[in-house]
A and B are shown apart, each in its own frame.
Chain A
Amino acid sequence: MNKSKILRFIVFAGIAGVVIGGGVFLYMFFMPHRDVQATKADFTFTGSQIVSEYLADANAANEKYLSADGDSKILEISGEVSKLSEDYDGQKVVLLKGKNDKAGVSATFTPETNKNLKGVIVGQSITVKGVIRSGASYDEDLELYENVILEKSDLIRINK
């Protein structure tokens, strides 16, 4: 291998390094948020099931459903609509709660998915999908049961 060939190789390797490094940097910097709705649900169950799992052992449930980087499990949950409201950002919030349950599942929608709740009323049974942010538990300072919180939610279907 002569000198010019070695030089050419070094220059080429250098450029490749800069391009790859820059690409990785740009990817990290502009890394998009996970698209919850485009991702397959990790678990499918009823609101009552996840609530009772959390009330039985919150630590075990956190271990199972929460991720250290915040991209926690995506849940598809069915239940009865017990309340419809709106948060400060104008996002719709649906509370799914069984009549005999101590806590429910509160699902916050997004500006894009809000419209899908049109026509949904209290008492209906629906299925929603979203990412879990925190579990259900009794809080002795609030003196009430906190709901399981889902965000980035969308309506999957109306069951009846």
Chain B
Amino acid sequence: MKKSILSLAILLIAVVGFAQTTSKLISSKTHVKFFSTTPAEDIEANNTATVSTINTETGDVVFSIPMQGFEFEKALMQKHFNSNKFLDTKGFPKAKFTGKITNLSSVNFNKDGSYDASVEGELTIKGKTQNIKENGTVTVKGKTIEVDSKFNLTLVDYGIAFKDGKPSTNIAKTVEVTIKAEYAP
């Protein structure tokens, strides 16, 4: 009897320990895209160097985005983007999102499928933090989890403003952000 209680206890500790170590998943396979459209031109920048974590127990989601990893088609645009007039990526090398899935009960991480998720949290770009509330999709396929989201950002909220010259006509005031991350155990 004592033996069976002991083995049950060990089993329980092992299960709990296992659950704790696997509830937080890490992704370095990510894609973050900025898209700006104006009558003058469309501008796109892509970043595949972002790191993200998702906690399937608590719904916590974190993205850490290295700003110099955004690549533009035109070299001059990339230089502008990085410069201290725009994103000042030397002064603020990383942007960050920390948030929570607010409808965690409707996402089943243990069952294959595609789930609509609401995410609420803080986005920090160029040292300025704003609360955001966006929708995304969580796709569970075996042991792999993929998160997708598309939302709009108003640049002036993060202190990015263009008063005159070419940028003010060629860069949209609100840009579309697409986020994708694949978490594997």
Which positions in A face B, CB cutoff 8 Å? 28-34, 62, 66-72, 85-89, 91, 93, 106, 108, 132-135, 139, 141-144, 146, 149, 151
Contacts and interface: CB of A to CB of B under 8 A. Distances in A.
Given A91-B48, A133-B49, A29 B74 contact: yes
Contacts of B68: 66, 70, 72, 132-134
A31 to B, nearest CB: 5
Contacts of B89: 66, 68, 70
10 contacts: A29-B74, A68-B88, A70-B81, A70-B82, A72-B68, A89-B48, A91-B48, A141-B62, A141-B64, A149-B69
B145 to A, nearest CB: 15
B25 to A, nearest CB: 11
Interface string B90-108: 1001101010000000000
Given A68-B90, A70-B68, 4 more contacts: A33-B78, A88-B180, A108-B48, A134-B49
Contacts of A133: 49, 66, 68-69
B159 to A, nearest CB: 17
Given A28-B76, A93-B28, A149 B66 contact: yes
Contact of B29 (A62, A72, A88, A134): A88
Given A34-B75, A62-B90, A68-B83, A106 B24 contact: no
- By DSSP majority rule, is chain A's interface helix, strand, loop, or mixed? loop
A143 B83 contact: no
- The number of chain B residues touching the other chain, given as a range, is 35 or more
Interface string B20-54: 00001010111100000000000000101101110
A68 B85 CA distance: 10
A39 to B, nearest CB: 14
B48 A88 contact: yes
B78 A85 contact: no
B75 A33 contact: yes
Contacts of A141: 62, 64, 96, 98
A62 B67 CA distance: 13
Contacts of B48: 87-89, 91, 108
Given A70-B82, A106-B28, A133-B68, A146 B51 contact: yes
A151 B93 contact: no
B84 interface: yes
A70 B79 CA distance: 6
A6 B120 CA distance: 70
B40 to A, nearest CB: 13
A134 B75 contact: no
B49 A68 contact: no
A135 B93 contact: yes
A26 to B, nearest CB: 12
Nearest to A27: B76
Contacts of B93: 62, 66, 134-135
Contact of A108 (B49, B53, B82, B84): B49
Nearest to B50: A149
Nearest to B52: A142
Nearest to A68: B90
